[in-house]
């Protein structure tokens, strides 16, 4: 049998997504109409310094031209790690300027901050601690739109927001379908100016999302379809996008891939790669995309040796990460190993093109930190969704292999 049964029906699964996706050329110009459809005329734009300096806000503001929609305020000082202090500050700006909707422009932190602001505004309480956890929100939220400027996090379609509380020293995590934006706009202009190294890292981040979603514990037919499409788009475009950053077709393809991967993983959850990547990021401040890209092949290798069922999924993964030709040419027994090799060949090509690191030692992780990374891995929420139980020694093994 050449093709294994790729689509399996799990004994139980849930899938939810309600985000309207607007993708294409001049897609930003659809925003005023979409906002007015939601009864909003005065959005606050939440973004970060990088985005503002790149001049991307101009595109968004310009799109309102000729309509009666005005921008209530632009907040462009969102820090790298969103915190409740910033959230409350933005909320007071929102109130002071009589805004009626929220547009987040940027990467993960701007989007998470905007989600936090939405909670504060809607619940009219500056105490986010009360809403920590899942399903704690009940009131309908303010109109909220997301315009991603990195093609990687997929936050535009996830229902999670993580906001730090420096006072209590915790990372507050919120999950609710109400946090989903009403619509998201994927416009190639917004990602066109990204430098090649970041493009590569965010692209690999999206690939990691798709791969982990495809082998994840909550894998289901719906998420599989999104993950497969995402992987195919990334496989065909990631090298080109790094080579020719100005190519709008490729940029749009990657933005879509990232969004599709986000859809897939937010419903089927991630595993050991993300757990170790979070820990590495937390302790050694390695950017999330880079850490994911380094750890992905090693995480998969760990799975192959541990669980026959996951190995089977990794075998099917070859079809998506390397294409059908490679899949049929490879003997079933070697497919899993080949799939990992295919991912490695992508990363090494990116390494040659723009210097995307392939080892943890290249990104400033020192050997004495490895144990504390492994320890922190065990406390990461993503690990509970790993298809196999991971012990401290095993987590350390994965990290040491990637060192």
If one asks whether residue 95 binds another protein (CB under 8 A), the answer comes out as no
Write out the binding residues for another protein, residues 248-307 only, by CB under 8 A. 269
| Minimum distance from residue 245 beta carbon to another protein (Å) | 37
Region of 110-118, 254-262, 356-364, 373-381 interacting with another protein (CB under 8 A): 373-381
Does 218 contact another protein by CB under 8 A? Answer: yes
Q: Which stretch binds another protein (CB under 8 A): 10-18, 31-39, 204-212, 308-316?
A: 10-18
- Closer by beta carbon to another protein, 172 or else 198: 172
Residue 309 sits in the site that holds another protein (CB under 8 A): no
Exposure class string for 294-317: b at 16+ Cβ within 10 A, else e:
bbbbbbbbbbbebbeebbbbbbbb
Tell whether residue 328 is a contact of another protein (CB under 8 A).
no
Judged by CB under 8 A, the stretch of 37-45, 82-90, 338-346, 378-386 that binds another protein is: 378-386
Q: Quick one: which segment of 147-155, 233-241, 249-257, 379-387 binds another protein (CB under 8 A)? A: 379-387
Smallest distance from another protein to CB 244, Å: 40
Q: Of these, 2, 14, 331, 393, which contacts another protein (CB under 8 A)?
A: 14
Q: Give min distance, CB of 389 to another protein, in A.
A: 4
- Contact between residue 224 and residue 320 where contact means Cβ atoms under 8 Å apart: no
Measured CA to CA, the distance from residue 159 to residue 207 in angstroms comes to 20
Binding site for another protein (CB under 8 A): 11-14, 127, 129-130, 132-136, 170-173, 175, 217-218, 269, 378-381, 383-385, 388-389, 391
């Amino acid at each position: 049998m050449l093709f294994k049964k790729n689509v399996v029906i799990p004994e139980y699964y849930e899938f939810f997504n309600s985000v309207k996706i607007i993708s294409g050329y001049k897609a930003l110009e659809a925003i005023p109409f979409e906002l007015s459809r939601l009864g909003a005329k005065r959005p606050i734009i939440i973004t970060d310094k990088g985005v503002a300096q790149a001049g991307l806000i101009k595109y968004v503001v310009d799109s309102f031209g000729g309509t009666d929609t005005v921008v209530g305020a632009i907040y462009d000082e969102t820090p790298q790690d969103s915190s409740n202090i910033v959230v409350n500050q933005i909320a007071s700006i929102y109130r002071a300027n009589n805004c009626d909707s929220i547009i987040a422009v940027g990467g993960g932190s701007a989007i998470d901050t905007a989600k936090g602001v939405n909670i504060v505004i809607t619940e009219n309480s500056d105490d986010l601690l009360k809403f920590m956890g899942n399903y704690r929100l009940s009131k309908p939220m303010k109109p909220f739109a997301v315009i991603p400027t990195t093609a990687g996090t997929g936050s535009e379609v996830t229902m999670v927001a993580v906001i730090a509380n420096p006072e209590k020293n915790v990372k507050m995590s919120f999950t609710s379908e109400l946090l989903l934006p009403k619509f998201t706009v994927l416009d190639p202009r917004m990602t066109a100016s990204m430098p090649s190294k970041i493009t590569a890292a965010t692209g690999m981040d999206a690939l990691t999302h798709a791969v982990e979603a495809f082998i994840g514990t909550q894998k289901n037919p719906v998420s599989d379809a999104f993950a497969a499409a995402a992987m195919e788009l990334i496989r065909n475009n990631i090298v080109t996008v790094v080579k020719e950053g100005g190519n709008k077709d490729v940029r749009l393809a990657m933005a879509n891939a990232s969004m599709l991967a986000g859809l897939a993983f937010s419903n089927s959850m991630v595993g050991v790669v993300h757990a170790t990547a979070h820990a590495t990021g937390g302790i050694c401040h390695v950017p999330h995309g880079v850490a994911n890209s380094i750890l992905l092949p090693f995480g998969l290798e760990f799975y192959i040796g541990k669980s026959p069922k996951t190995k089977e999924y990794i075998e099917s993964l070859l079809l998506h990460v390397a294409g059908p030709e490679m899949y049929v040419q490879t003997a079933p027994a070697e497919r899993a190993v080949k799939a990992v090799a295919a991912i490695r060949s992508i990363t090494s090509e990116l390494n040659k093109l723009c210097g995307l690191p392939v080892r943890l030692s290249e990104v400033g992780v020192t050997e004495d930190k490895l144990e504390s990374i492994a320890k922190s891995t065990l406390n990461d929420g993503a690990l509970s969704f790993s298809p196999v139980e991971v012990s401290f020694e095993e987590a350390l093994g994965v990290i040491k292999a990637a060192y």
